[in-house]
Amino acid sequence: MSNQHFYMDMSKRSEEKVYRLKKALYGLKQAPRAWYSRIEACFMRMGFEKCDYEHTLFIKTDQGGKILIVSMYVDDLIYIGNDPVMFTSFVSSMKQEFDMTDIGKM
């Protein structure tokens, strides 16, 4: 999502018109829900399962006991697992889908 600002020139407004924005914007009540829906769909496409008890926790398992766990807090992601190849693949996929930066280990 880009951080764009939209405004109307209120001096030219007409009481009979309704304006509709076609995308979610930061600062609106619906923006967090739109962000969550978008990233949740991305995780599902990548083969993650959503935790039944914590809706911001996603788990991906592979053959041989490999696991990747991603926790989301607002617009930050923390991931942990036992396979560096899964880490690299995850970060690469996320960078292709979203404008993001990997700041490294905690």
Q: Residue 68: inside a domain, yes or no?
A: yes
SS3 96: helix
Q: Residue 104: inside a domain, yes or no?
A: no
Pair 65, 55: CB distance under 8 Å = no
Phi, psi for 26 (deg, rounded to 5)? -60, 145
How many domains, the chain? 1
Please calculate the CA angle 2-90-57 and round it to the nearest 5 degrees. 80
Sign (positive/negative) of CA torsion 73, 46, 30, 23? positive
Whether this prediction's pTM lies above 0.85 is answered by no
Domain encompassing residue 61: 29-97
Structure tokens at 9: 């020139």
As averages over each run of 10 residues, the pLDDT of the chain (106 residues) reads 46 61 59 82 95 94 94 88 93 89 81
